């Protein structure tokens, strides 16, 4: 089994300053995750790649790959609702030195299940990189059915799936019918241990932006047979995991990172700053976990 994510990969944010990408801070975040995460996923949903220009997308992907310098795997988001656009992204990322690709299902115009297989087959044939399919129906408006995942698993360089449907029965069915070496990662931070108990392989994590060592340890504990420790960690983390999604990702996680002095809370429109009510809820969960500033000074 070639675990490209190494158990726990961080879905990395893109820090902004006055509307521009803050590469100095991005470099610091990369170094933090080289030390604490199994892999870095760049230019995905949490990276706000959908609001980047083509030039920014190329520069961010190249910057992270170059800065990591093969110390841990870098998986680049290369999805699009246009198959040929995804092909171009995949080929660019391979040339830039990415170790793998994360490719979300086509959004907005969507497709059929047969169309999904064709979409991914065309992309897979355009690159030699291993591909992780990304299923997130709440974002894309369509679901990859388990039988479709099985068909995709037969394509040589489609090696796994990031499953963010939130449907544990669907995830169980994917694991049941797909080959043992097909890698299934949780796309929901509050479901990592349940997914691994069914035979899943780890997580591509938003929470790892603020708790990389804790998220990685939870996954490593489960893999090493310390199931009770992993279970307790999942329960302890779930307050924060849920708080990081009380508004659209990555609004809450960037707010948390700002509280922790890791980066600015700035997001790009149409995303908008967090409401004061939800910020208070987020801060409360951070405090309960021992992170942040005292409530009375917030």
**Chain segment 120-154, per-residue pLDDT in tens:** 999 999 999 999 999 999 999 999 999 999 999 99
pLDDT of residue 187 exceeding 80, the answer is yes
Contact predicate 220/6, CB 8 Å: no
- Residue-level pLDDT at 297: 41
Query: Distance (Å, rounded) from C-alpha 89 to C-alpha 139?
Result: 20
Condensed to tens digits (0 to 9), the pLDDT of residues 245-259 reads 999 999 999 999 999
Sign of the four-CA dihedral 12, 17, 20, 26: negative
Give yes or no: 162 in active site: yes
Catalytic option among 57, 120, 134, 185: 134
Catalytic option among 89, 120, 162, 254: 162
Nearest to 218 by CA among 227, 209, 3, 199: 227
Condensed to tens digits (0 to 9), the pLDDT of residues 84-124 reads 999 999 999 999 999 999 999 999 989 999 999 999 999 99
- Residue-level pLDDT at 295: 47
CATH code of 127's domain: 3.20.20.70
CB atoms within 10 A of CB 295: 11
Residue with tokens 């090493």, as numbered in its chain: 224
When pLDDT is averaged across residues 195-224 and rounded to a whole number, the result is 98
β-strand 202-205 against 131-135: which pairing, if any?
Answer: unpaired
Question: Burial, 108: exposed, middle or buried (Cβ in 10 Å; 0-12, 13-18, 19+)?
Answer: exposed
Q: Is residue 271 part of a domain?
A: no
CA distances from residue 132 to 84, 110, 147, 250 in whole angstroms, order as listed: 18, 19, 16, 21
Q: Is residue 261 part of a domain?
A: no
Nearest to 30 by CA among 68, 60, 2, 81: 68
How many structural domains is the chain composed of?
1
Q: Is residue 242 part of a domain?
A: no
Q: Domain of 64?
A: 8-224
Q: Is residue 286 part of a domain?
A: no
Residues linked to residue 203 through DSSP beta bridges, in sequence order: 8, 186
Rounded mean pLDDT of the chain? 96
pTM check: above 0.85: yes
- Residue-level pLDDT at 252: 98
The b/e string for 251-278 (b: 16+ C-beta within 10 A; e otherwise) is bbbbbbbbbeebbbbbbeeebeebeeee
Q: In sequence order, what DSSP letters do the residues of the chain get, joined into one string?
A: ---TT-SEEEE----EETTEE-HHHHHHHHHHHHHH-SEEEESSTTTTGGGS-HHHHHHHHHHHHHHHTTSS-EEEE---SSHHHHHHHHHHHHHHT-SEEEEEPP-SS---HHHHHHHHHHHHHT--S-EEEEE-HHHHS----HHHHHHHHTSTTEEEEEE-S--HHHHHHHHHHS-TTSEEEES-GGGHHHHHHTT--EEEESGGGT-HHHHHHHHHHHHTT-HHHHHHHHHHHHHHHHHTTSSSTTHHHHHHHHHTTSS-----TTS-PPPHHHHHHHHHHHHHTT-S--GGG-
Query: Distance (Å, rounded) from C-alpha 20 to C-alpha 32?
Result: 21
pLDDT band, residue 293 (cuts 50/70/90): low
Nearest to 48 by CA among 83, 75, 21, 81: 21
Q: Is residue 141 part of a domain?
A: yes
Query: Distance (Å, rounded) from C-alpha 258 to C-alpha 262?
Result: 6
Q: Is residue 64 part of a domain?
A: yes
Give yes or no: 88 in active site: no
Question: Both tokens of residue 195?
Answer: 């997914």
Q: Is residue 123 part of a domain?
A: yes
Q: Is residue 284 part of a domain?
A: no
- Residue-level pLDDT at 291: 86
């Amino acid at each position: 089994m070639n675990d490209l994510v190494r158990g726990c990969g961080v879905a990395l944010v893109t820090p902004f300053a006055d509307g521009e990408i803050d590469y100095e801070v991005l470099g610091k975040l990369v170094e933090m995750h080289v030390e604490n995460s199994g892999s870095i996923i760049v230019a995905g949903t949490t990276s706000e790649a959908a609001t980047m220009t083509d030039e920014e997308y190329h520069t961010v992907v190249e910057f992270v790959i170059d800065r990591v310098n093969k110390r841990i795997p870098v998986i680049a988001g290369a999805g699009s609702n246009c198959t040929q656009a995804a092909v171009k992204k995949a080929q660019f990322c391979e040339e830039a030195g990415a170790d793998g690709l994360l490719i979300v299902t086509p959004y907005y115009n969507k497709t059929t299940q047969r169309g999904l297989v064709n979409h991914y087959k065309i992309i897979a044939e355009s690159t030699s990189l291993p591909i992780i399919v990304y299923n997130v129906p709440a974002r894309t408006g369509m679901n990859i059915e388990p039988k479709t995942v099985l068909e995709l698993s037969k394509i040589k360089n489609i090696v796994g799936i990031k499953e963010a449907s939130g449907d544990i029965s669907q995830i169980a069915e994917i694991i049941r019918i797909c080959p043992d070496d097909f890698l299934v990662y949780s796309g929901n931070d509050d479901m990592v241990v349940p997914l691994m108990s069914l035979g899943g392989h780890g997580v591509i994590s938003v929470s790892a932006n603020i708790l990389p060592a804790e998220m990685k340890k939870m996954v490593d504990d489960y893999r090493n047979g310390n199931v009770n420790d992993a279970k307790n960690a999942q329960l302890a983390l779930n307050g924060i995991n849920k708080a990081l999604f009380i508004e659209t990702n990555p609004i809450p996680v960037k707010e948390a990172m700002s509280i922790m002095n890791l980066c600015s809370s700035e997001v790009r429109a149409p995303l908008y700053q967090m409401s004061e009510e939800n910020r208070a809820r987020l801060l409360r969960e951070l405090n309960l976990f021992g992170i942040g500033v005292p409530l009375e000074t917030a």
